[in-house]
Amino acid sequence: MGKTTGFLEFTRNETSAREPLERIRDFNEFHIPLTEEQRREQAARCMDCGVPFCQNGKMLCGMISGCPINNLIPEWNDLLYHGQKEQALGRLLMTNNFPEFTSRVCPALCEKACTCGFNDSPVTVRENEKSIIEYGFENGLIAPSIPKVRSGKKIAVIGSGPSGLAAADTLNKRGHSVTVFERSDRAGGLLMYGIPNMKLEKHIIERRTDLMEAEGVEFITNANVGENVSADEILKDFDAVVLACGSSNPRDIKAEGRDAQGIYFAVDFLRATTKSLLDSEMTDGKFISAKDKNVVIIGGGDTGNDCVGTSVRHGCKSVTQLEMMPKLPDERAENNPWPEWPKVCKTDYGQEEAIAVFGHDPRIYTTTVKEFIKDEKGALSAIKTIKLDFVTDEASGRRIPKEIDGSEEIIPCEICLIAAGFLGCQSYVAEAFGVELDGRTNVKTAVNSHATNVPKVFTAGDMHIGQSLVVRAIREGRDAAAEVDKYLMGYTNI
């Protein structure tokens, strides 16, 4: 414990952000780091608890509490407070392959379980993590570490999202030869094209993949296994295969008029914007533009919020975000005690920006789409919504939505973005390798295993557990790597 009275002396101090009306002029990250002294004060707030819930990473009431990769948070907070950043970096990298990703996009499960947060505000764990990893890159502490001995084993990783990258990085460091196949034109998967630039600038991903290449990992892009790359050839050429293709089947909205022009899945909208930004700084026009259009986003989660922020940056005429569920409370309810994940209302960056531009919160709760209204040319012109009431189903005892008669409203809309989540992996990859799927269309394995029904084929990440968080995907990749290593070598020291 760096400073025994730190949590009493210092209050939580988060990094500031550029004002919404300023930051919407570009797609850059917008947080401003604290000074060195301020960051050490924030690290001093860590109490080095006897039971550090922050690094627990267990499920409580169906939600994760604490860090899924079991980061050694009190240890590197102590080292950060004492100015021993190189040692802090070493402790951080023991458990996390990619702190530069998690410190930007993770919802900070660790902070929600921080003991300081029981009666006060939690430690700024995520920002402390970012300061450590960026110090490492800026000061040449992170350089290619090429394995001195190679095992002679060849492993194919299909997909370069966070789980695929974690598996590849871990297996390469063990001494295996790893080739990553990515169907897009750039490595990174969800990190590259599913998360907007203002949350994770893409040079951060390229910096890491360049480092992995220097360490011996081979990346093959535009390689869509199951279509333009043969799964049979991969099975023949490699000693093991890790399927890490994500949960990329978007959930659709079935309503009258669904065939209207102007309805897109959120992932396609975000991907097109990021690709155009990277290819041409948005000058090629190869993206779905929301400029001067009324935008309706179906879905109240993080992806929906990303669509709000992106639409505002395009210069939309208006933006509305529909959420089926009721608004969450502003503070923890009595039936949602610490250290459970707090089910409270959060106003994220995109919603802040919409409020600044349009003067009101874009979210409308307990509302869904009743009909997509088309003009005479078949283009979307408006959306008919209907309010919902949640009632208890007598048979199951579950709360289910019921439409409220007479509550329909018409919202002008030329672009509708569906951000309603995902329904498992795309089946063509699973079919190409012959792996079984479970009832949720995720790749089927035994409990606490990553091995599929096909010999030497393993799976990891959202393709295995369904749509989840980047930090859980990293844990999945690390665990799958250990299982592959044991399969190949008879034991593992990962």
Provide the CB-side half-sphere exposure for 280 (13 A, CA): 9
Identify the pLDDT of residue 246. 94
Helices (H), 139-178: 162-174
Nearest alpha-carbon partner for 257 in 358, 426, 104, 373: 373
Whether the CB-CB separation of 157 and 179 falls below 8 Å is answered with yes
DSSP for 320-375, please give it.
EEE-SSPPPPSS--TTS-TTSPP------HHHHHHHHHHSS--EE-SEEEEEEEE-
Helices (H), 218-301: 231-237, 266-280
Q: Contacts by 307-311 with C-beta closer than 8 Å and gap 24+?
A: 307/266, 307/269, 307/270, 307/350, 307/417, 307/419, 308/350, 308/351, 308/353, 308/354, 308/362, 309/24, 309/196, 309/198, 309/349, 309/350, 309/353, 310/196, 310/269, 310/270, 310/273, 310/350, 311/415, 311/417
Q: Is the peptide bond before 339 cis (omega within 30 degrees of 0)?
A: yes
241 SS3 class: strand
Which residue carries 């050429």 as its tokens?
237
Quick one: pLDDT band at residue 376, thresholds 50, 70, 90?
Answer: very high
* Tens-place pLDDT, residues 343-364: 999 999 999 999 999 999 999 9
Nearest alpha-carbon partner for 94 in 133, 65, 151: 133
The proportion of the chain whose per-residue pLDDT surpasses 70, expressed as a percent, equals 100
* Tens-place pLDDT, residues 435-455: 999 988 999 999 999 999 999
C-alpha span between 490 and 494 (Å, rounded): 12
Identify the pLDDT of residue 1. 67
The CATH superfamily holding the domain 6-138 is Alpha-helical ferredoxin (1.10.1060.10)
Query: Span 154-248+423-489: which CATH code?
Result: 3.50.50.60
Identify the pLDDT of residue 12. 96
Give φ, ψ of 172 to 5 degrees. Answer: -65, -45
Which residue carries 């093991």 as its tokens?
240
Q: Range(s) for CATH 3.50.50.60 in the chain?
A: 154-248+423-489, 263-418
Report the pLDDT averaged over residues 379-395: 94
277 SS3 class: helix
Whether the CB-CB separation of 353 and 17 falls below 8 Å is answered with no
49 SS3 class: coil
Name, in order, each residue with C-beta under 8 angstroms of 171's C-beta and a sequence gap of 6 or more: 155, 157, 178, 481, 484, 485
The proportion of the chain whose per-residue pLDDT surpasses 90, expressed as a percent, equals 91
Q: Range(s) for CATH 1.10.1060.10 in the chain?
A: 6-138
458 SS3 class: strand
Query: Span 263-418: which CATH code?
Result: 3.50.50.60
C-alpha span between 23 and 478 (Å, rounded): 36
Q: Which residues are 229's β-sheet partners?
A: 225
C-alpha span between 245 and 487 (Å, rounded): 21
User: Hey, what amino acid is at 225?
Assistant: V
84 SS3 class: coil
Average model confidence (pLDDT) for the chain? Answer: 96
* Tens-place pLDDT, residues 167-204: 999 999 999 999 999 999 999 999 999 999 999 999 99
C-alpha span between 269 and 194 (Å, rounded): 9
Report the pLDDT averaged over residues 239-252: 95
C-alpha span between 413 and 298 (Å, rounded): 12
C-alpha distance across the termini of the chain, in Å: 29
Q: Which of 112-121, 238-247, 275-284 has the lowest mean pLDDT?
A: 112-121
Report the pLDDT averaged over residues 277-302: 96
Identify the pLDDT of residue 130. 98
pTM (predicted TM-score): 0.95
Helices (H), 106-161: 109-112, 116-119, 125-138
Residue 157: CB atoms within 10 A of its CB come to: 34
137 SS3 class: helix
C-alpha span between 435 and 164 (Å, rounded): 17
Report the pLDDT averaged over residues 117-132: 95
Q: At what angle do helices 125-138 and 73-81 cross, to 10 degrees?
A: 60
* Tens-place pLDDT, residues 43-102: 999 998 988 999 999 999 889 999 999 999 999 999 999 999 999 999 999 999 999 999
Nearest alpha-carbon partner for 235 in 372, 474, 2, 433: 433
Provide the CB-side half-sphere exposure for 70 (13 A, CA): 9
Size of the chain, expressed as the number of residues it contains:
494
